Structure 1
Amino acid sequence: MRPKPSPVGPGQESVWSYPRPPRAEVVRRRAVVTLAGVVVVDTDDLVRVLETSHPPTYYLPRAAFRPGTLVAGTRRTHCEWKGVARYVDVLAAGARRVDGGWWYPEPDPRYPELTDRVALYPARYDRITLDGELVAPQPGGFYGGWVTADVVGPFKGEPGTNWW
């Protein structure tokens, strides 16, 4: 059963207007990620992936991360749209976020914008901001969407959403 989308206010968009398969688009917004009090990445070079029922997932350039903060993990998953994902651990000031993010070494040809970019799970960091706004994690812990005031749900990952 498809849920009823929340009302959209000025300057907002509904995740229910996002496409499936997902769309990737380059955006100029500023993301700052902090772990253990250290800014591990600060960039305005982002790609956001939009998929029905999900808040946007932001992909940041691997080259924008502080040297030594991204370490190859062992986990791999497969996305039906984007391909095989490899996970990374993120390190800073003695803190380690195992599988704190993922990337597509060889993204599906439909998603060339994702080449050499990493997505992060917001809940695993001290703080992530997008244009100065504190990002909330997509509910449920499985997905990596970034919830901000400019998107409305309901969002995949909330209780009772397994069958959407």
Structure 2
Amino acid sequence: MMRAIWNGTVIAEAPATIQVEGNHYFPPESLRGEYFADSRTKTVCPWKGLACYYHITVGDQTNPDAAWYYPKPSPLARRIKNYVAFWHGIEVEGEPEEQRGEHTERSAVSEETTHVRPRRFGWLTGRGAGR
């Protein structure tokens, strides 16, 4: 089970996440909504699109803009639509529950043959993690 933890409190928990560029993206249904509040902050990733943010509040402490998601990602990032990633001191720990073997497929971003782990987004190439 994968968990996102802040201030000793589990704020998201899921059997698996999608990993992109070293960040674990949690399915939206895995969030414990009482800790999340919409932020007005928005940023743009050149290949994923417009990111929206959440403030995280546990007890009387707020961690501003500590989580982000892509409500309308680019076609290359469609697998993480509405999935939420964390930073600013939020710890992600655990292991995915289902481990399947790797398979080979073509990356939409690269012409190289790549090895992709199921239930994860991203790829491993001879040059290291792809972006």
Runs of 4+ deviating beyond 2 Å:
none
Alignment: residue pair count: 96
Residue of structure 2 aligned with 1:61, choices 27, 40, 49: 27
Residue of structure 1 aligned with 2:65, choices 99, 115, 120: 99
Q: Which residue is equivalent to 1:35?
A: 6
Q: What SS class does the counterpart of residue 56 from structure 2 fall into?
A: strand
Q: Cα offset for 1:37?
A: 2.3
Output the CA distance in 1 between the equivalents of 2:4 and 2:18: 15
Output the CA distance in 2 between the equivalents of 1:116 and 1:124: 21
Matches within 5 A, 1:69-88: 69-88=35-54
Instruction: Report if the CA contact (8 A) 1:70-1:88 is conserved.
Output: yes
1:100-139 Cα deviation digits (max 9, x unpaired): 0111110001211111211101x423x431329xxxxxxx
Matched, 1:89 2:55: yes
Output the CA distance in 1 between the equivalents of 2:15 and 2:56: 20
Structure 1: give runs of 5+ residues left out of the alignment.
Answer: 1-29, 51-55, 133-164
Q: What SS class does the counterpart of residue 33 from structure 2 fall into?
A: coil
Output the CA distance in 2 between the equivalents of 1:80 and 1:67: 29
TM-score, normalised with respect to structure 1: 0.53
Root mean square deviation, CA, Å: 1.8
Q: Which residue is equivalent to 1:44?
A: 15
Give aligned-pair identity as a percent: 22
1:25-68 Cα deviation digits (max 9, x unpaired): xxxxx321222222111212311114xxxxx1110012211122
Output the CA distance in 1 between the equivalents of 2:84 and 2:31: 10
